[in-house]
């Protein structure tokens, strides 16, 4: 199984999301067996996608570390489970801007799993062992883990990263170490992946998928990524 998971982050109005859906649906993309394509828009667009593009599996970009209750502003996993099948947790931007700890990420992962949502948990190069240690062994085995070097991420609001993906050798080395330590459902790579670079990572047997961010916002770029991923899967069979 290979994964292509788009992360919209904090982008797009309702109309912009509808335009994206319209352009992508016009292509009638058919996926090869063995390829799972997931999109993670913002919370406010989840119901829109469920109604306008129900065949596309969805993920959320975060969820509450708590269950239902008096947690103003939070969105619990139980509230999300009818809309999403996946949840991105511990993204480097969450850790950096919102000071999320590995303990909080672990709490969120438990909430996700308890509500039949598969966590996609990000870990970085410097702290990956500590980030994995914070997770219960059962959680690690029920999660997709993502190697995400923050320095590879390109931001619209300021230069934390260089905006180019990590080298294939670095990604292979880190994914191998993470897989050996955690034995998760899958290990994927995220960090400035675009249509012209996804083949580098998807063709590598030890890499289970990719999570592009800004590239997934552009419908034409997304279509290219899905098409490329399909071709790679087809040739590899």
φ, ψ for residue 205 (rounded to 5)?
Answer: -60, -30
Tell me if residue 155 is catalytic. Answer: yes
> Taking a C-beta distance cutoff of 8 angstroms, is the pair 91, 102 a contact?
no
Instruction: Output the 3-class SS for the chain.
Output: CEEEEEECCCCCCHHHHHHHHHHHHCCCCCCCCCEEEEEECCHHHHHHHHHHCCCCCEEECCCCCCCCCCCCCCCCHHHHCCCCCEEEECCHHHHHHCCCCHHHHHHHHHHHHHCCCEEEEEECCCCHHHHHHCCCHHHHHCCEEEECCHHHCCCCCCCCCCCCCCCHHHHHHHHHHHHHHHCCCEEEEECCCCCCCHHHHHCCCCCCEEECCHHHHCHHHHHHHHHHHHHHHHHHC
- Is residue 91 flagged as an active site residue? yes
CA atoms of 55 and 162, how far apart (whole Å): 35
Please compute, for residue 146, the number of CA atoms within 13 A of its CA located in the half-sphere on the CB side.
Answer: 29
Per annotation, catalytic residue among 45, 91, 93, 100: 91
Catalytic annotation, pick one of 23, 74, 155, 204: 155
Residues forming the active site: 91, 155
């Amino acid at each position: 199984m290979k994964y292509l998971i788009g992360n919209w982050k904090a982008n797009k109005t309702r109309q912009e999301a509808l335009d994206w859906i319209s352009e992508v649906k016009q292509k009638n993309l058919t996926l090869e067996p063995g390829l799972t394509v997931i999109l993670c828009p913002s919370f406010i667009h989840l119901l829109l996608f469920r109604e306008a593009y129900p065949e596309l599996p969805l993920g959320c970009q975060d969820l509450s570390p708590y269950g239902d209750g008096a947690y103003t502003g939070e969105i619990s996993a139980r509230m999300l489970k009818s809309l999403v099948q996946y949840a991105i947790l511990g993204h480097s931007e969450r850790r950096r801007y919102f000071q999320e700890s590995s303990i909080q990420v672990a709490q969120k992962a438990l909430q996700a799993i308890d509500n039949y949502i598969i966590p996609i948990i990000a870990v970085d190069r410097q702290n990956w062992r500590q980030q994995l240690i914070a997770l219960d062994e059962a959680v690690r085995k029920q999660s997709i883990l993502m190697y995400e070097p923050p320095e590879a991420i390109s931001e619209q609001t300021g230069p934390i990263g260089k905006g180019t993906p990590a080298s294939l050798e670095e990604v292979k080395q880190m994914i191998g170490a993470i897989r050996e330590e955690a034995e998760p459902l899958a290990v994927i790579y995220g960090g400035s992946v675009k249509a012209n670079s996804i083949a580098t990572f998807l063709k590598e047997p030890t890499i289970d998928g990719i999570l592009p961010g800004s590239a997934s916002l552009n419908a034409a770029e997304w279509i290219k990524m899905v098409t490329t991923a399909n071709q790679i899967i087809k040739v590899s069979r």
